[in-house]
Structure 1
Amino acid sequence: MNNIIITISRQYGSGGRNIGKLIANKLNINFYDKEFIEIVAKRTGMNKQYLENMEEKFTNDNLFFSAFHKEHFSSPFSGHIKYSTLDKMFEIQSEVVKDIANKGNCVIIGRCANFILKNTKHKCFNVFVHAHNKSRIERIKKEYGIYGVKMEEAETQLINTDKYRSNYYKYYTGMEWGDMVNYNLTIDSGCFSDENVCNIIIEAAKKRI
């Protein structure tokens, strides 16, 4: 495959991370997800555990967007006054996304990568993975060890995490999270096995380039 960056945005519980990992393994290219926190920690000197805890706090507390930032629902780099720790993290993560893209082929999970790499020299294939709530809840329960969510909390966590991701994406990009016009491919992972979704994305990416 020619040079390609595959970005994967995903609904919580849709299996996007696992699918991205399968793609990276099949293509023998780098994979980035939680690795971003470690890179940001090294660049800033901030404690990795602190960054992980802060990210989890924001995920579970959408007041960050619905209240404090409601009047500033646009990119912090287009002139708004308030500049939070999360804003700084986004700025650093944006630099990291560009740096790893410059290093070569890879799969990037989340982090608004499809927006950050838009209009750059990189040829990206942007994917959004989604599924019906029932399918996602079943996956969350099944993969308890991965998602770290108690069964009775699965539905609440699903709603909260999706809301956070949607608000985060809208806040930093000005675009709608999950809107098909922002991606080259959207796919319902509930209709296929992860392996099949992986193969579909790879074949589509090959044709794209």
Structure 2
Amino acid sequence: MEKKVMNERYAICIGRSYGSGGYLLARKLHERLGVPLYDKELLDKAAEDSHIRRELFEQADEQNGYELPLVLSGTLGMPNAFYMPAQSYLSNDHLFSIQAETIQKLGSKGSGIFVGRCADFLLKGHGHLLSIFVTDDEELRAKVVQERLKLGSIEEAQREVERVDKSRRDYYNYYTSRHWGRGDNYDLCLKLSAVGIDYAVEIIIGIMRERGFIKD
């Protein structure tokens, strides 16, 4: 792992279409920069912060389930601030608010790489933020998903790509009032099959160095 000297804390936020390699890029940056990577780990931290079962955050994670509440049982151990006795449920909006606080707290504590979950919007006031969107051709992404999930046909994989992309788009658009995947929402958009993941890392490192986020 090649360590870089940080001038100040920074946040790299990576949005990604399904099967595009966005998480792999985040892992490469994590290995190169030596700073924490937050993906599913955000669910664990939000659950720890709020004393609410992780499964509830997982059910609401990057889904467009904001239309329906998640019914609570008496074993959730949630804080009074989020409990509504008259309705007896914790909505996905409330779960998002808790997760948002966790992301903002992590962003204020130190440098990190955040994958999805509207982190680019939630950290928009961060002084050293780099927002990235990773995508690729749908056919290539479907092949990746088919292999990853061991699906029987490319058509089935394409349907899964469309389903997950729609969930991520609806989730992001609903909570940010922005447009998921649209270039003008991000500092950098990447198609990994065109540039390669290693060169993509070099591009990002170069931008960070140019902005003064890191120095050799």
* Residue 157 (structure 1) aligns with: 160
CA distance in 2, matches of 1:195, 1:12: 20
Q: 1:16 to 1:151 in 2, by over 3 A?
A: farther
- 1:86 deviates by 1.4
- 1:191 deviates by 1.2
User: Which runs of 5 or more residues in structure 1 are unaligned?
Assistant: 70-82
- 1:50 deviates by 4.3
Cα shift readout 1:11-44 (whole Å, capped 9, x = no counterpart): 1110101100110110111100000111122123
* Residue 102 (structure 1) aligns with: 108
1:202 matched to 2:208? The reply is no
Cα shift readout 1:68-114 (whole Å, capped 9, x = no counterpart): 48xxxxxxxxxxxxx96211121011111111111211110011111
Q: After the TM superposition, which parts of structure 1 deviate over 4 Å for at least 4 consecutive aligned residues?
A: none
Provide the alpha-carbon RMSD of the alignment. Answer: 2.3
SS at match of 1:160: helix
CA contact (8 A) 2:57 2:95 kept: no
The aligned amino acid for 1:137 is A
Q: Point out which structure has higher relative CO (alpha carbons under 8 A, 6+ apart).
A: 1
Q: 1:186 to 1:84 in 2, by over 3 A?
A: farther
CA distance in 2, matches of 1:195, 1:138: 21
* Residue 120 (structure 2) aligns with: 114
Greater Cα offset, 132-141 or 168-177 = 132-141
Candidates 8, 13, 18, aligned match of 1:7 = 13
User: Which runs of 5 or more residues in structure 2 are unaligned?
Assistant: 1-5, 69-88
CA contact (8 A) 1:149 1:157 kept: no
Greater Cα offset, 23-32 or 198-207 = 198-207
Larger radius of gyration: 2
CA contact (8 A) 1:20 1:198 kept: no
1:179 matched to 2:182? The reply is yes
CA contact (8 A) 1:12 1:161 kept: yes
1:46 matched to 2:26? The reply is no
Q: 1:204 to 1:159 in 2, by over 3 A?
A: same
- 1:198 deviates by 2.0
* Residue 60 (structure 2) aligns with: 55
* Residue 128 (structure 1) aligns with: 133
CA distance in 1, matches of 2:143, 2:207: 27
The aligned amino acid for 2:114 is I
Q: 1:24 to 1:141 in 2, by over 3 A?
A: same
CA contact (8 A) 2:49 2:102 kept: no
Greater Cα offset, 10-19 or 153-162 = 153-162
CA distance in 1, matches of 2:129, 2:13: 7
CA contact (8 A) 2:38 2:113 kept: yes
- 1:151 deviates by 4.6
Percent identical residues: 30
Aligned residues: 185
CA contact (8 A) 1:125 1:208 kept: no
Q: Pick the structure with more helix per residue.
A: 1
Candidates 30, 38, 59, aligned match of 2:36 = 30
Q: 1:177 to 1:149 in 2, by over 3 A?
A: farther
Greater Cα offset, 14-23 or 84-93 = 84-93
CA contact (8 A) 1:7 1:108 kept: yes
- 1:167 deviates by 0.9
